Amino acid sequence: MNVGELMTALSELDPTLPVVMEMTDEPPGDYEASEVRIESYCRERDSSPSSPYIWPTTWHEPEYAFNRCGPAQPVAYLSFNPPWKPTIDAEVDQTAIEASHD
Predicted local distance difference test score (pLDDT) of residue 100:
59
DSSP-assigned letter for residue 12: T
Average pLDDT estimate for 41-54? 72
pLDDT in tens, 9-32: 999 999 999 999 988 776 777 788
The domain ranges of the chain are 3-99
72 burial (CB, 10 Å; 0-12 / 13-18 / 19+) is middle
Predicted local distance difference test score (pLDDT) of residue 53:
58
Residue 86's pLDDT band, with cuts at 50, 70 and 90, is: confident
